[in-house]
């Protein structure tokens, strides 16, 4: 007895998997950078409040200050390593593609100011007060500039996809 040939169902045309933009970080890099960013901003902000608002005696430290400074410094090192890792590919490719330049330059400027003043706070005594305030202002700008950079980049990629 002959078997009847089975009818094959027409295959669905599946769209190819969405490609990740070459400008986007990988999952681990993104998670580590965002985590370090949050830790740097949070510890710097809390330290600034402790230093300027919670001290009853200018000569007495708040008990949290040493731990905040140590955590802030460690998180800053992690953030700077990840930031530096992003420059050769992410920033260079985006610059050549003319993508997100204003927010990218602002982010690099704020990070550079933070790095330089963070180092200067520990190394240059004669300008400590001025450098401290520049570092605080750069630190307050970071939670504005980084989200601006991320949102502007994602918006330009979404517009390109349309």
pLDDT of the residue at 133: 95
CA 118 – CA 162 distance, rounded (Å) = 42
DSSP 90: I
- What tens digit of pLDDT does each residue of 79-125 get? 999 999 888 888 888 899 888 999 999 999 999 999 999 999 988 88
Task: Name the percent of the chain lying above pLDDT 70.
Answer: 84
3-state DSSP call for residue 30?
Answer: helix
- What tens digit of pLDDT does each residue of 16-45 get? 445 566 667 778 888 999 999 999 999 999
Closest CA to 51 of 42, 40, 64: 64
111-122 b/e (C-beta count within 10 Å ≥ 16 → b): bebbbebbebee
Reading the block at residue 104, the tokens are 């990218």
Name the more confident of 13 and 37: 37
pLDDT of the residue at 2: 66
């Amino acid at each position: 007895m002959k078997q009847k040939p089975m009818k094959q169902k027409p295959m669905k045309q599946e769209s190819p998997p969405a490609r990740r933009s070459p400008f986007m970080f990988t999952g681990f890099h993104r998670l580590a950078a965002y985590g370090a960013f949050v830790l740097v901003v949070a510890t710097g902000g809390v330290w600034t409040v402790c230093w300027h608002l919670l001290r009853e005696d200018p000569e007495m430290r708040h008990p949290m200050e040493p731990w905040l400074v140590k955590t802030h410094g460690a998180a800053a090192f992690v953030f700077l390593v990840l930031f530096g890792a992003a420059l050769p590919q992410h920033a260079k490719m985006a610059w050549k593609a003319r993508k997100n330049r204003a927010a990218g330059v602002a982010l690099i400027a704020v990070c550079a100011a933070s790095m330089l003043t963070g180092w200067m706070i520990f190394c240059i005594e004669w300008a400590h007060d001025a450098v401290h305030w520049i570092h605080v202002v750069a630190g307050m700008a970071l939670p504005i500039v980084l989200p601006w950079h991320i949102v502007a980049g994602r918006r330009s990629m979404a517009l390109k996809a349309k």
